[in-house]
A and B are shown apart, each in its own frame.
Chain A
């Protein structure tokens, strides 16, 4: 029988409509049908739970104990109250905010400036890969490059000497602000491209007619950028900067390789503080508590920033 023949047989009695292959439709049990979407989601959920939720919950649990290897002693919120009185914690938080804040501000400003000059260049597709290079390097490799440039290899000192800005070798780790600056320079160098690429894409995605209208209205390129392009980019900027900001709060590799928190803890970031507590001093419970506090703080800040930025953007 042809599959596209009418489903009413010669006798005139209607039968159940067969599907294209001529078989009666398959029926799944109601329980299976209900479970089906969850089954499809299961692999991703299991993966997610295993790599994020379990360690997260474990850290929260561990933060309630004083942990010396296998010896766990219940302390409740003891770790937390101790941390909140720990000067090193507050110093690390301050350093993270300071180094991260300056670095993020510089990255955003540089990326926006570069994007402003670059996005109208029709050849940008060709050469933007050069901008991406720093981002493609391994963080530890980048940290070593800058460690060589600043300290061990004295490249920067030599360059500064050759243009006569300094007299002798600069000991970058001797001064609080110079040491912080090395971290900032390394971070800016590596991560400005991330923001740059996003900003260029946002600018190129804007309606060209609007730009042309502004030109005919008498606006110069900087005026167009300031009055129109930048406000229109606002949501993109907020998301990109928030992502980068979250990433910066976990700044570790550069500190570990370049400064180890010196001089006198002036470059110790939160991540390095947690690492030091956990893996140098083996206060796992204490380190977990600091991690949990950091997580809470990051969530609050990110939420506030994104919410405010998007709400005032509407109206």
Chain B
């Protein structure tokens, strides 16, 4: 088990900067999720930790040792790939055994360890099959078993659930989290799915365009976003971001008027989450644009001026379109961002 430190990591591909000056400390036994849109540098970061790519600048330290010059095979990290990367010519048993063989672990230990790992992912009865004869979920579990069987210092998981259907994804999420807690192995998990990030992570690192936007616990990221990118990325549906003007303790935009702290002024962006908007009130005056019942909640879109505001309404809320409606914003949960998109915080 080991902690991981990234110190001023830069990765350039010719003129393109994949990861820019990234520093990050990952604690021992922590479950850290790298979250961001495609091309944000999260997979590149993970591949640098794995040793599959070299950082252009900076240091990577695993378990107190600088590993920049250590080959991937000697870093003692195990990785689960998006496409499973099972060896198609070997049975599942041989797949799980491969890292044991390659690392020179005594053959007498193999069988017990393979069966234990397979048991952990509930794959015990499929050991003699080839990967081609398994379903997507079973293959992913086999890939997990192959990663855990040699008890590495670090687990790296690169979007391991993205090829699975929604239902399977949910059950695999729980399984991965349970396994990580059980094995107490430092884990770095890459995903673009915020639900995975929120449910799995001890801490989330949100990345965009190669740079860290915010690091924090899921609660912090959700309730205290550092900038408009984080605010808009986390939450489903995402936070409403409304551009307007703040003056003398009041924020106004077409159809919208809310009180705001006095230190907020000028051209700013108001952020308010759909669940903090309530039908009935006068912060937003607009028309119903659409109503989407989902069963447990109804999403309501309100057109206020040129802004479309998402509102999480009661499950039985129904309305025709173009009906005039007033919305109240919860004053305790309003976020203001400056013109560069950074959060405006009080003098403190």
Contacts and interface: CB of A to CB of B under 8 A. Distances in A.
Are A and B co-members of a single complex?
yes
Interface of A: 207, 209-210, 212-220, 223, 227-228, 231-232, 234, 315
B108 to A, nearest CB: 19
Contacts of B103: 217-218
A207 B103 CA distance: 23
Nearest to B50: A216
B245 to A, nearest CB: 51
Contacts of B78: 216-217
Interface string B81-94: 11101111100000
B43 to A, nearest CB: 12
A218 B103 CA distance: 6
B77 interface: yes
B103 to A, nearest CB: 4
B186 to A, nearest CB: 15
B98 A212 contact: no
User: Would you call the interface of chain B mostly helix, strand, loop, or mixed?
Assistant: loop
B297 interface: no
Contacts of B72: 212, 215-216
Contacts of A218: 73-74, 99, 102-103, 150
B88 A232 contact: yes
B118 interface: no
- List 10 tightest A-B contacts by C-beta distance, closest first: A213-B85, A218-B102, A217-B99, A231-B89, A209-B85, A218-B103, A219-B102, A209-B81, A215-B72, A210-B85
B130 interface: yes
A213 B79 contact: yes
Nearest to B91: A315
B89 A216 contact: no
B52 interface: yes
Given A232-B88, A232-B89, A315-B130, A217 B102 contact: yes
A88 to B, nearest CB: 45
28 contacts: A207-B85, A209-B81, A209-B85, A210-B86, A210-B87, A210-B88, A213-B81, A213-B85, A213-B86, A213-B146, A214-B87, A214-B98, A215-B72, A216-B50, A216-B51, A216-B72, A216-B78, A218-B99, A218-B103, A219-B98, A219-B102, A227-B98, A228-B87, A228-B89, A231-B89, A232-B88, A234-B89, A315-B130
Nearest to A211: B85
Interface of B: 50-52, 71-75, 77-79, 81-83, 85-89, 98-99, 102-103, 130, 146, 150
B149 to A, nearest CB: 10
Nearest to B80: A213
A18 to B, nearest CB: 42
Q: Among B50, B73, B99, find the residue whose CB has the most chain A CB atoms closer than 10 A.
A: B73
Contacts of B79: 212-213, 216
Contacts of B73: 215-220
Contacts of B51: 215-216
Contacts of A215: 51-52, 71-73
A223 to B, nearest CB: 6
Q: Among A207, A214, A215, find the residue whose CB has the most chain B CB atoms closer than 10 A.
A: A215
Nearest to A223: B102
A216 B51 CA distance: 8
Contacts of B146: 213, 217
Nearest to B79: A216
B35 to A, nearest CB: 21
Q: Among A213, A231, A315, find the residue whose CB has the most chain B CB atoms closer than 10 A.
A: A213
A217 B147 CA distance: 8
Nearest to B77: A216
A123 B153 CA distance: 36
Contacts of A231: 89
A215 B156 CA distance: 14
Contacts of B82: 209
A202 to B, nearest CB: 13
Nearest to A206: B88
Nearest to A221: B73
Contacts of A212: 50, 52, 72, 79, 81, 85
A216 B50 CA distance: 8
A118 to B, nearest CB: 21
A227 B95 CA distance: 11
A207 B139 CA distance: 16
B83 A209 contact: yes
Nearest to A315: B130
A229 to B, nearest CB: 10
A217 B99 CA distance: 5
Contacts of B88: 210, 232
Contacts of B86: 210, 213
Contacts of A220: 73
B144 to A, nearest CB: 12
